[in-house]
Amino acid sequence: FSDGVDTKETVEYYRGKLGDADPQQFVEILVGHAVLVDPKEDEIEGVWAHVAIHGKWNIWQRKDDRLTLWTAWGEQPVQQINLDADETKIWDAFDSSKRLIELRHHHDNDKIISLVRKLTHSNVQALKMSMMPWSIYAKRPAMAPPYLGSTMPYARWQPGTAVPPAISLSEYHKSSINDADAQFDHQETTLSHLLRVPHPVLANRTYGQALADVILARELVSGRARILEIGAGLGYVARDVMARLREKGITIEYTICELSPTLAKAQRERLGTDATWIDGDVLAAQIPDASFDLIISNEMVGDLPATQHSREDVGLNLDGTGTIDRDKLRALSGGAAIAADLGVNLDDATEPFYLMTGAFELISRISRWLAPGGTAIVTEFGELAMWPKLSTHLDHPELSTHFGQLLQAARGAGLEGKIEFVIDLLDFNRDEKGLVTTRSHFRALRALAEHHGVDLPKIGYTPKLLADTVSGKMDLESVGELRWDRIEDRLMGLVPHEFKALVVKRPA
């Protein structure tokens, strides 16, 4: 591409290789957004026709007449970009409505171009260039080009570089987690991790304490309780559930099944002798039937293995019609065979679709491991009736959960129960506001706080929690972009109302 390619030849090469799509339309769209440019054109001169729009996830601090930007995209090192007084004035003039050519008579032209080149770089992303002012999209945000609001820190790739193999859902937690704290602070922050401290959204309780209160209020355990937690993260939920139940005089035998050696080590350091461990894959664990009164699986089902199939693989028509052929489904073995035996309805499968084989295996095992009258609480992000979607923003694949299918599997295995929203199960205070971030955005904010001598742990910040944490060291009035939303809709990078709980019981 460095020397340009012949457009007609390229279009003909790709004709028929993009399904029903016309390659010429791709070219026209890319040209329209200045992704493709004519090698004969002066690309810098063409920039003057664009509108400069501040990137969505900037962290900056203003001091007097100067602005300092902090960036930390993906795994890139933290950067501090200092704007001088003139550059700060230009930054302020980028109001999402004026084209650069309108600024030429008010600011040094060379400085404008230099600042644009610096702030649009993929390592910075503080500025986005648009052919249209933002007001065009204000009432029709769906029409806005995705790149104007996206700051996805995609890995760089150069022609000739081998594409790394896809990371296995089953292998990642066995060998790829090297730093337990960093795993939940940066790579895959969970809702329970954000709420591991006493939090106003939970009436100054931790996530584990709130969960324990549900267990107590519903009388899910009493006297002597045998509890299994599957995938215990850093051990905070286990710590608080045990402490809360013991306060009420309940004798606890707490067992943790953990796949990751790194996480198991962190759990042992936090819990000491309060728990016992089954090290290894829960889908291979040898656990006697009727061993537990309560089983907790908190935010881990999406990490279990899954397989991708075409509708035709299970006897369905590609046009969306047909009825599942359970013999074909059973022939896929493993979790697919369990889904067939438990009567899970797959007739509305997408094309292609992900089959939650590991989750179905887990439900089957839970049904056996529960003692008569025992209860299981399985939480994860997902929807009641939406097929699993693959998350691509993490360093490993993870699927959303189709809770309707999990409930069908549970009922097929002889369990009784329902699906609840986690925010209802734990009684969230829906009036609370929470900080809205992305992983990279919070890394940059954390770096800024560290610059001022503040340790900013990864928790679910409310305005008061953040103000109390930085009190006396950092003036939040000088910091941007800090966004707040109702916690049920967004907390840091999570959407709490998307988290569901399968609560099922084995009949006595």
Contacts of 286 (CB under 8 A, 6+ apart): none
| Residue type for position 476 | L
How many domains, in total, are found in the chain? 2
Q: Are 120 and 222 within one domain?
A: no
* Helix (H) or strand (E) run with residue 297 in it: strand 292-298
Q: What is d(CA 445, CA 136) in angstroms, rounded to the nearest whole number?
A: 31
Query: To 10 degrees, what angle do helices 236-247 and 261-271 make?
Result: 30
pLDDT digits (tens, 9 = 90+) for 218-229: 999 999 999 999
For the four alpha carbons of 78, 56, 398 and 182, in that order, the dihedral sign comes to positive
Q: Are 201 and 134 within one domain?
A: no
Q: Per the domain annotation, does 79 fall within a domain?
A: yes
What pLDDT does residue 257 have?
98
DSSP lists the bridge partners of residue 254 as 227, 275
Q: Are 178 and 100 within one domain?
A: no
Contact (CB, 8 A) for 401 and 321:
no
What pLDDT does residue 4 have?
73
- C-alpha distances in angstroms, 327 versus 1, 243, 315, 330? 50, 48, 9, 5
Is the bond preceding 416 in cis, omega lying within 30 degrees of 0? no
Mean pLDDT of the chain: 92
Q: Per the domain annotation, does 86 fall within a domain?
A: yes
Q: Among residues 125, 137, 155, 106, which one has the least CA distance to residue 54?
A: 125
Q: Are 108 and 235 within one domain?
A: no
Please give the full DSSP string across 233-293, using - where no structure is assigned.
TTSHHHHHHHHHHHHTT-EEEEEEEES-HHHHHHHHHHHGGGEEEEES-TTT----TT-EE
Q: Percent of the chain, pLDDT > 70? A: 95
Q: Is the pLDDT assigned to residue 188 strictly greater than 80?
A: yes
What pLDDT does residue 170 have?
62
Q: What is the CATH number of the domain that holds 192?
A: 3.40.50.150
Q: Are 118 and 184 within one domain?
A: no
Q: Among residues 114, 116, 125, which one has the least CA distance to residue 79?
A: 125
pLDDT digits (tens, 9 = 90+) for 337-365: 999 999 999 999 999 999 999 999 999 99
Q: Per the domain annotation, does 177 fall within a domain?
A: yes
Contacts of 333 (CB under 8 A, 6+ apart): none
Q: Are 117 and 49 within one domain?
A: yes
Predicted confidence band of residue 318 (pLDDT cuts 50, 70, 90): very high
Q: Are 238 and 362 within one domain?
A: yes
Q: Are 266 and 411 within one domain?
A: yes
Q: Are 225 and 297 within one domain?
A: yes
Predicted confidence band of residue 471 (pLDDT cuts 50, 70, 90): very high
In Å, how far from its chain's centre is CA 285? Answer: 28
Q: Are 58 and 123 within one domain?
A: yes
pLDDT digits (tens, 9 = 90+) for 66-87: 999 999 887 788 999 999 999 9
What pLDDT does residue 392 have?
64
Q: Per the domain annotation, does 159 fall within a domain?
A: no
Q: What is d(CA 172, CA 312) in angstroms, rounded to the nearest whole number?
A: 30
Total residue count of the chain as it appears in this document: 508
Contact (CB, 8 A) for 273 and 247:
no
**Which range marks the domain in which residue 276 is found?**
173-306+356-427+495-505
Q: What is d(CA 382, CA 498) in angstroms, rounded to the nearest whole number?
A: 6
